[in-house]
Amino acid sequence: MSFEKIYQEIKLPTTTSNSPFFEDIQLHLIMFIKLLRDANKIIMENRKPDMHIEWKQEGSRTSPVTQADIKANELICNCINDTFYFEKFVIVSEENKEILFNERNNISLDAIWVIDPLDGTSSYINYDVESASYLDNGFTVNIARLEKRNKYQPDGSIVTFWKPVFGIISTPTDNMVYFGGEGIGSYQFTPDNNLLPIGMNYPKKAEKNFNDILSKRKVRVGISASHCNQKTKDLITTLFDDNYESYSSGSSMKFIDVYLGKTDFYPRLGTTMEWDICAAVAIGESCGFNIKIFDESIKCFSTLNNLTSVVFNKLDLHNPYFIVY
């Protein structure tokens, strides 16, 4: 049976979103899953020990860029431009020229696409000459869609903000795909074309009971092997003392591990950009998980629900420190 036939027989919940994007969600999902699998193929074909690597400066951070980053970005941008030609949108990508805030915050835009064509390039190029093998498969392809939403304030005024309404992530090494959207929940799409729900039913929010977890076992904390600084260690100790176990994974998979129940808590107290997390946030918020801005006042896990959720399309595209649970 063809991929299209299998997927057309899968029925997603009727969305509560008023976004025109979700009116053709079946068609869009087929397109995006194919697109990510094509990007995965490009990325893996270009993963060679002698690949050309350039280095670019992003503020205080130096990042590697390969032909895989560039080619995957071109593929994704062209597909979005061709598919959504009837909309007014901009594409914010790690590999594209910077778009000024006034242009991407234009009220007349239908959407903003946020892309990281190869999230975790440092993992992608991590090759060990002695063993003649790659040491790390922690890289992903990330695509998210932002749309305008209105929020009513206590004084009756209305604030317009940009919300991640759809996110999709793939892991090139195994062709696994994860996606989620406003009102439809979140799912894992396997290489053999099976659809598995992630997390809870939308819009139920997670009220994680860490006391209950600690009564049964240690809290599983997701960390980055290359970005676990002293501030992160101090936070984990403050919250859980020594009643935790650390699990390391790469790029957006630290989010996905929380959503799949492999870990309970992921803190990131280091530099990230909006394209690093936007797709993962869309998936997590679509199945009830919390992505909150870190606050120095955190002293115990019972206060986590008081924190503010992350926001997107800021003047500065750097993210604040955040936690996921």
Q: What is the pLDDT of residues 236-276, one digit of tens each?
A: 999 999 999 999 888 899 999 999 999 999 999 999 999 99
Using a pLDDT cut of 90, give the percent of the chain over it: 65
How far apart (Å, rounded) are the C-alpha atoms in residues 122 and 101? 28
Neighbours of 135 (CB within 10 A): 10
How far apart (Å, rounded) are the C-alpha atoms in residues 184 and 202? 7
Q: CATH 3.30.540.10 in the chain: give the residue spans.
A: 3-198
Q: The tokens 């019972």 sit on which residue?
A: 302
> Taking 90 as the threshold, does the pLDDT of residue 6 lie above it?
no
Is 289 exposed, middle or buried (CB count within 10 Å of its CB: 0-12, 13-18, 19+)?
Answer: buried
How far apart (Å, rounded) are the C-alpha atoms in residues 169 and 142? 5
CATH dotted code for 210-324: 3.40.190.80
61-66 and 185-189 strand pairing = unpaired
Q: CATH 3.40.190.80 in the chain: give the residue spans.
A: 210-324
> Taking 80 as the threshold, does the pLDDT of residue 4 lie above it?
no
Task: Calculate mean pLDDT across residues 95-115.
Answer: 96
CATH dotted code for 3-198: 3.30.540.10
Is the preceding peptide bond at 203 cis, omega within 30 degrees of 0?
A: yes
| pTM confidence score | 0.93
Per-residue pLDDT at 209: 85
How far apart (Å, rounded) are the C-alpha atoms in residues 142 and 267? 20
- Beta pairing partners, 54: 65
Q: What is the pLDDT of residues 144-170, one digit of tens each?
A: 999 999 888 888 888 899 999 999 999
Per-residue pLDDT at 195: 86
* Beta-carbon contacts of residue 269 (< 8 Å; ≥ 6 apart): 229, 231, 232, 235, 294, 321
